[in-house]
Amino acid sequence: MSADPTVVVHASADLLTAATAARLITALVDVQAEGRVPSVVLTGGGTGIGVLAHVQASPARDAVDWSRVEVFWGDERFLGAADPERNDVQARDALLDHLPLDPARVHAMAADDGPAGGDPDAAAAAYRAALDGRDHFDVLMLGVGPEGHVASIFPDSPAVRSTESATAVRDCPKPPPTRISLTLPSIGWADHVWLITAGAGKAEAVARAVSGADPVDVPAAGARGRLSTLWLIDRAAATDLPPH
Ligand SMILES: O=C(O)[C@H](O)[C@@H](O)[C@H](O)[C@H](O)COP(=O)(O)O
C-alpha cells in the first residue's frame, strides 16, 4: 500500500528548506516519543543539503536525541571518500559533524577509494548488505531533477527498473557519472517520502509526477511512502500544477 501525493507549497525556496527542517525535527522527535530509534534517509543536491543546514541553524535542533537516530543516504556520488562533491561529505559539513550521532548508526555508501576498490557494483552490494534485514525507514527525503529523477534513478534507466534495494548507476546524466542509489522498491520502505524541490525548472517534473506519470518516464512518480507522500515545493515549482 502506498500513499497518494499531497502537495505543500511554500512562498520561496528558503522558506521551503527552513520549513522542511522544522518538519524533520518534529518527525524525529515524534518517533523518539514512541520509544523507537528513527531512521532517516538523506538526499544530495542543493535543496536537500539546504534542509540540513537549516536543521543545524535551528534552535530546536537538539530537541532530537541525535545519538539515537539511524542515518542512511538515498544515493551517493561514487567518488573519493573526502571528495567535496560526495553527498555524505556535504551532509557532514552542513549538519552531521555538528551532532552527537552514534557512528554505528550512520550508514554512508562506499567511496571509490574505499573497500569496494573502485567497483560500484561491489559498493552497491555492500549497501544492500548494510540494508539486509531492513524493510522500513521512517522519513526518506528526495530532491527532484528537472526530468523527474530522484536519488540517482533517471528516466528509462536500469535503476528505475531495478528490483534490488540498492544499485550501481553508470553514465548518469547528472555528473558525476557513476553513483550508488536506492531504488523505487527500497524508497517504498519509507513510512513518509518527502520530495523536496524548488524553482521553475522543476515545475514540469512536479506536475507530471503528481498527476501520475509512468515511473519509468518520471521516476519521482514512483517515489511513494507507505503512510504519506509529500511534495514539498515552492511557488515556482508549483506553476504547472492545476489550480485547486
Ligand atoms: O546526488 C544528487 O545529485 C542528488 O541525490 C539528486 O537526486 C538531487 O537531489 C537532485 O538532482 C535535485 O538536486 P537540486 O536540489 O540541487 O536541484
- pLDDT given for residue 117 in this prediction: 84
| Identity at 2, one-letter amino acid code | S
Confidence at residue 244, expressed as pLDDT on a 0 to 100 scale: 72
Q: What tens digit of pLDDT does each residue of 187-196 get?
A: 999 999 999 9
Say yes or no to pLDDT of 185 above 80: yes
Residue 14 in any domain: the answer is: yes
pLDDT > 90: what percent of the chain? 96
Pairing relationship of beta strands 137-142 and 190-197 according to DSSP bridges: parallel
Sign of the CA dihedral with 40 first, then 41, 47, and 52 last: positive
Please tell me the residue having the least CA distance from ligand 1 atom 3: 45
Instruction: Flag whether 17 is in a domain.
Output: yes
75 CB within 6 A, ligand 1: yes
Which amino acid belongs to residue 111? A
Is the CB–ligand 1 distance for residue 90 below 6 Å?
Answer: no
Say if 238 falls within a structural domain: no
The reply to whether ligand 1 has any atom less than 6 angstroms from the CB of 148 is no
Q: pLDDT of 212-235, one tens digit each? A: 999 999 999 999 999 999 999 999
Residue 50 lies in a domain: yes
- State the pLDDT at residue 116: 76
b/e per residue 109-142 (b: at least 16 CB within 10 A): bbbbebebeeebeebbbbbbebbeeeeebbbbbb
The b/e string for 172-201 (b: 16+ C-beta within 10 A; e otherwise) is bebeeebbbbbbbebbbbbbbbbbbbbeee
Task: Tell me how far the alpha carbon of residue 172 lies from the centroid of ligand 1, in angstroms.
Answer: 12
From 20, 43, 187, 218, mutation site for ligand 1 pocket: most ligand atoms within 8 A of C-beta: 43
Provide the whole-model pTM.
Answer: 0.98
Residue 174 CB–ligand 1 contact under 6 Å: yes
pLDDT score, position 43: 98
The alpha helices in 34-115, defined as continuous H runs, are 45-57, 87-94
Please determine, for residue 81, whether its predicted confidence score (pLDDT) is greater than 80: yes
Domain with residue 42: its CATH number is 3.40.50.1360
The amino acid at 138? D
Please provide the average confidence, as pLDDT, over all residues in the chain: 97
Q: Which atom of ligand 1 lies at the shortest distance from residue 87's CA?
A: 1
Dist. CA 235 → ligand 1 center (Å) = 19
Nearest to 40 by CA among 66, 4, 78, 79: 66
Average pLDDT of the segment spanning 81-99? 98
| pLDDT per residue as tens digits for the range 22-76 | 999 999 999 999 999 999 999 999 999 999 999 999 999 999 999 999 999 999 9
Residue 5 placed within a domain? no
Question: Quick check: is 2 in a domain?
Answer: no
Angle among Cα 104, 113, 156 to the nearest 5 degrees reads 90
User: Which CA distances in Å does 114 have to 24, 45, 78, 106, 111?
Assistant: 31, 23, 10, 16, 5
Specify the ligand 1 atom closest to the Cα of 43. 5
Q: 33: CA distance to ligand 1 center in Å?
A: 31
Average pLDDT over residues 93-99: 98
Residue 12 has pLDDT above 80, yes or no: yes
Picking from 16, 2, 4, 7, the residue whose alpha carbon sits closest to that of residue 240 is 7
Predicted ipTM of the assembly: 0.98
Closest atom of ligand 1 relative to the 199 alpha carbon: 17
Structure-block grid coordinates of residue 187: 524508497
236 within some domain: no
Q: Which backbone phi and psi does 127 adopt, to 5 degrees? A: -70, -35
Look at residues 222, 210, 227, 187 and name the one whose alpha carbon lies nearest to residue 9. Answer: 210
Q: Which of 175, 231, 228 is nearest to 10 (CA)?
A: 231
Pocket of ligand 1 contains residue 45 by CB under 6 Å = yes
Q: What is the pLDDT of residue 100?
A: 98
Residue 237 belongs to some domain of the structure:
no
The tally of domains found in the chain comes to 1
Check residue 22 and give its pLDDT. Answer: 98
CB 20 within 8 A of CB 196: yes
The Cα 68–Cα 64 span in angstroms is: 8
Atom from ligand 1 closest to the CA of residue 46: 16
Q: Residues 190-214: pLDDT tens digits?
A: 999 999 999 999 999 999 999 999 9
| Domain enclosing residue 57, as ranges | 10-222
